[in-house]
Amino acid sequence: MPWITAAGELFSSSVQLTADFVDSDDGTKFWRRSGDDYAEALANLLPVGVAWPRDPESVLMQLVAGLAQTWGLVDGRAADLLQIESDPRYADEMLPDWERAFGLPDPCVVEPQTEDDRRQALVVKMTFVGRQDRGFFTGIAAALGYRLRITEHAPFMAGLSQCGDTRDADGDWRWEIGPPEIRFVWTVRVLEVPEGALATDIDCIYRRYKPAHTDFVLDLGAVTP
């Protein structure tokens, strides 16, 4: 764009500026120039002589100062892009764009979220590394505010199992999931739990990330409404 080229050429000259030097958290260094910095640079590029006064109250310098504010605004917005919007931990105006790029908001989480919650969810999604152990899934539950216990069940195996073992008809691995006090029991009491305690978010997320060869039962029978 022409205005970007013009701005670059303007400040490639040896003009002394008093702009703020910004050192961001990740070590990135860049200048944040104000409209007054641009006004000073423009004034220093003007010819010298009686017709070109440098008095701040003169019409010429007021004109230069007024025109320079546009460049200060452009520079500030560019600095915001580098310093704030390009970092998902601090993004504000571009937060919806970041979320769209990473498939957020998560359809499994239906509760309203603050902007800080959304940024945290974005960083988690960007750095997410899944696993297939119980610790991974209990960690997800803890992050959502749940306390639970996961019990893994194995199919009947001749030579290892004995009469009375739990065995699924298809021979698949099954998980029993519920609060620490719960037993592996199919119950309709879950239908009596208020909507806010149905744990639909954790059910949705677990079904997304569970190993493909497994199935699980989410038992809320021990939850007090």
Tokens of 41: 């640079």
134 token code pair: 């119980």
Respond yes or no on whether the N-terminal peptide bond of residue 211 is cis (omega within 30° of 0). no
Instruction: Read off the tokens for 25.
Output: 């958290």
Provide the H-helix boundaries in the chain.
Answer: 2-12, 35-45, 59-80, 95-101, 115-126, 134-143, 200-209
Give me the pLDDT at residue 44, please: 92
Q: What is the model's pLDDT at position 201?
A: 80
Q: Pick from 7-11, 17-21, 26-30, 202-206 the range whose average pLDDT is largest.
A: 202-206
Residue corresponding to tokens 């008095």: 55
Average pLDDT over residues 20-34: 66
Given a cut of 70, whether residue 18 has pLDDT beyond it is no
Are 58 and 39 contacting, i.e. CB atoms less than 8 angstroms apart?
no
Q: How many CB atoms lie within 10 A of CB 199?
A: 20
- What average pLDDT does the segment 85-102 reach? 94
Q: What is the pLDDT of residue 133?
A: 80
Q: Which of 148-157, 175-184, 194-203 has the lowest mean pLDDT?
A: 175-184
Residue 53 clears pLDDT 90, i.e. is over it: yes
> Residues near 186 by Cβ (< 8 Å), separated by ≥ 6?
217, 219
158 vs 152: CA distance, rounded Å: 18
Nearest one of 26, 33, 36 to 8, comparing CA atoms: 33
pLDDT at 159 over 70: no
Q: Provide the pLDDT confidence category of residue 149 given band limits of 50, 70 and 90.
A: confident
Query: Is 123 or 16 the better-scoring residue by pLDDT?
Result: 123
Looking at residue 69, its pLDDT comes to 93
Place of tokens 């677990």: 206
* Higher local confidence (pLDDT), 21 or 47: 47
Contact 96, 122 (CB under 8 A): no
| Cα dihedral sign, 138-140-141-143 | positive
Tokens of residue 18, six digits: 């008093």
Q: What pLDDT band is residue 110 in, cutting at 50, 70 and 90?
A: confident
% of the chain surpassing 90 pLDDT: 31
Helices 134-143 and 200-209, packing angle to 10 deg = 150
